[in-house]
Amino acid sequence: MLRAGIARRMFGILLIVAAADYLFVYYAAGISLPLFLLIGAGILVVLQGLLQRQQLLALAVMAISLLPAIEDVNLLSTCFALAGLCLFAALALSPASHALPQHMASAARLAFFAPLLMLRDMFSPRRQRLAAFLHNTNARWLIGWILPVGAAVIFLLVFSAANPIVEAFLVQLDFSMLSTLLDMTRIAFWIFIFALAWPFVFFRPARMSLQNLPVQQERKVGEGLFLGYDAVLRSLVILNLVFGWQTWADVLYLWGGAALPPGVTYAQYAQRGAYALIVAALLSAFLLLAMMRRGTRAEASRTVRVFVYLWIVQNVLMMASASMRLYAYVDTYSLTYQRIAAFVLIFLIGCGFLLIVLRILGQRSNLWLVAANAVVLVWTIYALSFVNFPRTIAEFNIAHSREVTGEGVTLDVGYLVSLGPHAMSSLDIFLRTRPDKWNAQRNIHNPRERIAQYLRRREDWRSWTWRDARLRAAYAAAP
């Protein structure tokens, strides 16, 4: 628990609110987001006391989580940054004796319930401690000024309506600064930041006894009516034959280049297959987990394992076919966010099948499999948060458009404009290097002016991101 008194903690929250007001009010979020979270983490460390090895580890974890927000501030990077702050608080402020599940429980509680935890403290025994703080410290002196100042303001307003001299005096006063500070939106923002910072400053680690956690024991599992040994073995044999037929068709038409049946184009073959094969792979993964339950006769059978490994190999080949189909379709009809998501899903499914093999070979539990897949998912999304998808999509679509290659679809300029300024940077270069027939498109969309407007809105240092800095350099270097 924190060793700081209530007065120091309240002062720490006020510093966090002041930092949020200075960094975010009237400015677009940029480098201000990781800077604000670092300031909050520094205040927590100061309140906790001297740096310890546990806190240094927590700071390292948080630094890694802030890197995507330094690259660009978006929904994904913001989620990583906030998750890093929650994990930092759980690691740095919990007792060193706590195990990883307890730290994770504390981080999850902060992540999902942070703004509500202040209300919990208002109606808990801590409320008496706060009341004692207000009565026994200088805060009572400050509260004692609320009534006289408020009453004086009210009577001055009344007198201004009755006395022209008072009214003339009040009119000469400049209340612009006060009106700015008393803006209701700004006050609501202060209250939200105050409620958000409260559970971190008044941190309570999650109460979770490791002795009460269920311990998984080896036990025999009943085969059941539909998942008995014979049913599993027959299913694997039949499914391997079905998947073998599908794999052979892909080898023949997709990889071998054989002529397709009449009425079926290559693009149709690619489009219809990619997403359906993804669904088939997901169903295969769930069916494998159901068949290979720990403690069953099927799970221990070498014969069953041979057919399982063969089926997994066919699923991996099916994912390779799905990726080839998807790439062929994208090569013909351009790249979009949804098709990038499909590529990522194919990669994750392939990793999932590899982990299923490791789970069977190592005789691990389904809980281990879920945790391993979660780790792969988090690190994949973390790596993708550094990718400039608008620019990637724009460059790919331009390079594979009919205007450049002589085949495929016509470049959808409107779609690239909808992706934002980072896509319009590549579009601007393309339009300025085309013949005069692109002058109309350049005048309609005017990508260079749109980029300039975007950069002007983000000139303040608080809005700086590494991605915008590269865009600004490319804009300045262009003729």
Mind listing the pLDDT tens digit for each residue in 453-466?
A: 888 888 888 889 99
Contacts of 125 (CB under 8 A, 6+ apart): none
pTM of structure: 0.71
Mind listing the pLDDT tens digit for each residue in 328-379?
A: 778 777 888 888 888 888 888 888 888 888 888 877 877 788 888 888 988 9
- Smallest CA-to-CA distance from 382 within 36, 83, 56, 33 is with 83
- Smallest CA-to-CA distance from 24 within 192, 178, 195, 176 is with 192
Contacts of 33 (CB under 8 A, 6+ apart): 23, 69, 73, 78, 81
* Chain mean pLDDT for the chain: 75
Query: Are the CB atoms for 307 and 363 separated by under 8 Å?
Result: no
Q: Which long-range contacts (CB under 8 A, 24 or more apart) does 235-239 make?
A: 235/287, 235/291, 236/291, 236/304, 236/307, 236/308, 236/311, 237/307, 239/284, 239/311
Domain boundaries of the chain, sorted by first residue: 6-138, 229-384, 389-477
Q: Which secondary-structure segment (H or E) carries 161?
A: helix 146-162
CA 346 to chain centre: 19
Mind listing the pLDDT tens digit for each residue in 220-279?
A: 445 555 667 777 788 888 888 887 877 777 777 666 666 666 666 656 665 555 667 777
Mind listing the pLDDT tens digit for each residue in 275-324?
A: 677 777 778 877 877 777 776 777 777 888 888 888 888 888 888 888 88
Query: What number of H helices and E strands is found in the chain?
Result: 24, 0
Give residue 282's pLDDT: 77
Check pLDDT > 90 for residue 67: yes
At 203, the pLDDT band (50, 70, 90 cuts) reads confident
Mind listing the pLDDT tens digit for each residue in 120-152?
A: 666 555 555 555 555 555 555 555 555 566 666
Check pLDDT > 90 for residue 35: yes
Instruction: Indicate the SS3 state at residue 203.
Output: coil
Check pLDDT > 80 for residue 433: no
